[in-house]
Amino acid sequence: MRPVQAEFGKIAKVSVALFLAVFIPMLYLQGAQLPVIADAVRQSGSVITIIAAFWVFYEKWGWRYPVLRIGGWLCAHPDLNGRWEGTICRFRGDSPHLIVIEVRQSLNSLSFQTFTRRSTGRSTSASILQAEDGSFFVTALWQTTGRRLDDPEAEDTFYGSSLWQLSLMNQDKRIRDIYFTRREPGTKGEMNLVWKSAKCLGRFQE
């Protein structure tokens, strides 16, 4: 699943169509001859192609570069890409154990995988939210496959929801997550993670 949102590709196509629908009649009404109009359309097509290519690049990677964020005016999204390591602890007296989260993010999408010694998981939906005070949060739904609470030898797949509170100070990036699950019985707990690297390994590794 993914969030329902505007699609850049379709917006770009409609923008090109609207541009041509306005540009060509304007040239014609100003007395331009058809060969001149055709040449102008060809030249404008090159410019449109370059602009469209820039926005494709920007949506996937460019938004991360400070020079292209224009001081947060063009893009205020925090960059969460990479590998996060920390601990997870179920409430009710559980002992913390190690967990890894690997985040993959573009301008319009966010997904993650989770790894512990005994489980793996993935997001089914995740979105970044910004509070009135400027702080950022992530809400997420996810699925995890681990071991049953009442039988450690048996496999258990369950769903859960999370609210990440983000602390972002240059390269010191942290997540505090309060989560709930639909296990039987249901559980809740807390994760505390620190950003380690932009590189994702796709596995648990201490």
pTM: 0.84
- Model confidence band, residue 8 (pLDDT cutoffs 50, 70, 90): low
Single out the residue of 70, 51, 52, 85 nearest to residue 199, CA to CA.
85
Structure tokens that stand for 18 in this block: 């609207």
Higher-pLDDT residue of 166 and 19 is 166
Given this model, what pLDDT does residue 1 score?
53
Q: What is the pLDDT of residues 143-154, one digit of tens each?
A: 999 888 777 778
Mean pLDDT over each residue of the chain, to the nearest integer: 89
- Within the chain, strands assigned E span 82-90, 97-105, 110-115, 120-130, 136-147, 155-169, 172-181, 188-197
Structure tokens that stand for 156 in this block: 């258990």
Given this model, what pLDDT does residue 55 score?
85
Q: Specify the residue for token string 């989260």.
A: 101
Asked if CATH classification 1.20.120 holds for the domain at 82-197, the reply, yes or no, is no
Single out the residue of 79, 53, 55 nearest to residue 65, CA to CA.
79
- Model confidence band, residue 134 (pLDDT cutoffs 50, 70, 90): confident
Is residue 186 within 8 A of residue 161, CB to CB? The reply is no
Residue 13 has pLDDT above 90, yes or no: no
Q: Please report, for the chain, the start and end positions of each structural domain, with discontinuous segments joined by +.
A: 8-60, 82-197
Name the percent of the chain in helix, strand, coil, to the closest 5.
Answer: 30, 40, 30
- Model confidence band, residue 3 (pLDDT cutoffs 50, 70, 90): low
Dist. CA 71–CA 65, nearest whole Å = 11
Q: What is the pLDDT of residues 70-116, one digit of tens each?
A: 878 888 889 999 999 999 998 877 889 999 999 999 998 999 999 99
Residue 11 has pLDDT above 90, yes or no: no
